[in-house]
Structure 1
Amino acid sequence: MPPQKLDPETIADSNSGSRPGHLRVLLVEDNPDDAFLLERHLRRNGFSLDLTRVETASEMLRALDPPNVPDIIIADYNLPKFSGPAALQLIKSSGADIPFIMMSGAISEETAVESMRAGAQDYVTKQNLARLVPILDRELREASARRKKVQAEEALEASQARFHRLVEAMPLGLLIGDATDRIVYANGAVERLLGYSNGSMLSGDITLDSICPTLRAAYNEDLGNTNSFAAAPFETACVTANGTQIEVLLGVALLNPEAAPADRQIAAFIADLTLQKKSEEVLRRTEKLAVAGRLAASIAHEINNPLEAITNCLYLVGKTELPPDARTYLALAQDELDRVAQITVQTLRFYRRSTHAADTNLHDLIETVAALLGSRMNRQRITLVRKFGEIPPIFAHDGEIRQVLANLVGNAIDALPNGGVITLRTGLSRDWKTGRTGIRISVADDGTGMSQATLNRIFEPFFSTKGITGTGLGLWVSREIIDKHKGTLRARSRERREGCPGGTVFSLFIPSELAEAELADVPVKN
């Protein structure tokens, strides 16, 4: 049957009202007269439109290219070089969601049903074109609803992806469990913090209770019988994969309080308190050391009064007639008394804290430390070698620099239990990394040295090689002090082996503007 043309007499206006928006129509039609009548019919019914007519598959494919993708496709069932069913198959193969209306001059009910089963949204005959307008209204509404649904789903997926990235990247550990304590979600921070693999946590072998034994009790107490959805965070311990416990700040939240108790999910937020607890311990130990220092200074101050009286008494005794032996003993007593007086003066000077930085003579500080630790070195048969260069004063807190020097010399003494040599060296220097000028002090011993593993950790808080006698704070505090003075503290060490001497050198660099002129012509050296 030849294709039938649109009859202008049968085209009735089904809606003369205006319609908002602009409609892009792709018309698969070989008859330009029918295309004209169709366009006029749509415009009369309030559509503002751009109509593109195609007759072949290649023309249709070009018309589907962005940015002019049509809002709706109307296709004649029979064309000389193309067909409505072929056009329908083409649009379905492209994956585009565009409403498709089949149109024909004469189409049987079976053919219409077959077209709709193939994917067409509806069909209309050229003799009853009045049906086209309500069909377009309906399909455009439904297409718009589908697009909005897809956009909403895509926005939801994007939001969920952003939230998932946020949760995975945050430093807080997040565990979600069901009413039976089975873990249903664990973020990456839990793996990093506790050491469990994600697979082991989700397998059911590891439960919320096995990781955080106090979590369920906190939930039952604060959330189990109330309408609250979050409990106040509290400090507790969590069990790691290797069985050890770490201190954490734990927050508990109920994700679905409206659900039945058997269907509720619990979220546990875990913050690692290890560094905070270490810092608190450092503060406590530092305060204890400060108290001990103040006590030592107070005792030294109190000793000065009786020492002065004893000195005066010895002076008066020395003015009397005494046998030679007695005078010899008197001189020995005077020498020992002078040594005690010197120790008290050095102790007072050592623990006296300056409140402000000032020009400080490093050699005087070194001598103070040497005098304070001299008896230890004598007992252990340690020789102290001084190799002092010409150096200007440094602008520093003398009490803090004295503390650093005492830590370094004290460690060198500990490294030489059977005697040895400690070398103290000072001189002008230039930092090889930054080019800054300043003063370098090195403290070297010829002890057994340290392994590379030990050397890598010596500046960590609480790391000590001295067992229970060491606090593990000396070098850590020393580096903090030198950092505050914009300087550097580094260490090199070599373990003693057969035929190869060992030892350790600590190099302390403190910037000094006064050294700039004296080092103006000195090249940077490593």
Structure 2
Amino acid sequence: MSVSTTNPSSSILVVDDEPGIASLCDRVLSREGYQVTALINPHAAIEHLQQTRTDLLLVDIRMPEVDGFDVISRAKIVQPDIAVLVMTGFGTVETAIRALRQGVDGLLLKPFEKGDELVQAVIQAINDNHRKRDAARVQALRPLFNVTETLFAETDQDKLLGLIADAIRDHLNCSNVAYYRVEGATVSAVAQVGKALPVEADQTAAGLIRRVADDRDPMIIHASGPGEAEAQSLLSTLGLGSVILIPIPRANMNSVLFAGRDSSGAQFRGADLELFFVLARQAVVAMENARLYADLRDTLRRVEESQQALLRAEKMAAAGRLTASIAHEVNNPLQSVQNCLHLAGREDLPAEKRKEYFELARTELDRLMKTMQRMLEFYRPGTVRVEHVDVLELLNHVISLTSQQLHQRNIQIKANLPESLPPIYAVSGQIQQIFINLILNAHDAMPSGGELEITARGLNGGVELTFSDNGPGIPEDRRNNIFEPFFSTKEGGTGLGLTVSYNIVTAHGGTLDLVDRDEPGACFRLFLPTGDKQ
């Protein structure tokens, strides 16, 4: 006798109204190791199928009360993946066509003379059924490649849950999807579309979700057919015919995906379970990807906040160092305005001369207002509006602002500047801070006086400026660290000036470098790109 290539523990239901045939099939197949149930009443067979999972239905076509095709139809409803082998003593073409239309896996003519013929037909039917299911799986898995790309492209966790729900509904042909989170004994519905298991109000529903999450095994439940009576009653109450629960184990919590078909729809099959399993694995990776992106965005936000804090700290430090210069910049125009108004008020002067003094006073007031506006832009938090910046005008303003402080230390400024430079688009207050930091660094490097040379020229795509002093310079072993935060070569320095300047320049797409040269002192080269209005 041939050796079976199927699982020897496969369960087989034999249905034939002839007791002799039913008994023969029972003996032959039981001898081969199959678990056989032989019935002569088709009604009893239908009831058996509703309560007991069966691998193969071996059924006679012609029976007096219910014919074999009716039994097959009922079997396919409660157990969609069951293999079917029909027996008939009337092998007509019509019978074969009808059997094929109902998804039958094999046809066996009675009477069969040898037991081998029956065994081989059973083996062939079970194997054909497996091949059909494998083909259905492959066909179902092909569209998942596009789904994978869609899910992985979305990094917003809330939107991703919506995409996952849509993918499950489309590929499993169901209208009910839910995502449950399990934390200890607590089960909560995070998102749902259509009907879902009421885990907050029903202990049976919550217990099913917890069991799937704890055991980490998927579960398929049908409202009719073999299964737990309590769970099936819950599905019937909700108007659901079939559901699948898939566990999603994660590092910090367990989750469960739910898919359900209404009672009017077909039951889920094994291929649906495997398809859902693959979708769930993709969902796990996509959700982890979205979580990592969320963590990255949060980290970048904190870094940006830290950078803004450094920027504000350095501005406040610069404010303290520029107090005298700021007072000088404000006091000089005020003195000029006072003098001009005094002279304009003298009645012994001609009207034309008095008008000239009024105009001078207005000019000085305009200069004072412009100075104060620049200072407000510099110190106002969060001023990051990109605008048209005249580099020469801004640089001359900073030189004027720092001139008093440089003069008090006997530092001469040698400004080799052209008549014009290409305009750039940048954040004016931030570029102003770079100039202040570089000039004050030179001031601190020359406590006994010296010379600061500033040059500027237009280059293709931007503007280049250099700030060169003749102080002691920066030691060779410290040059690689000068742009690191809190690194300073001078006593009492914050170590933030060059760091903030470097970050600002980088954010604008430019460069800030320490230039090697033969002369004593330090030389910083600054390149600012033209930029754009965006």
TM-score (norm 1): 0.38
Between structure 1 and structure 2, the one with the greater Rg is 1
**Higher-RCO chain (CA-CA 8 Å, sequence separation at least 6):** 2
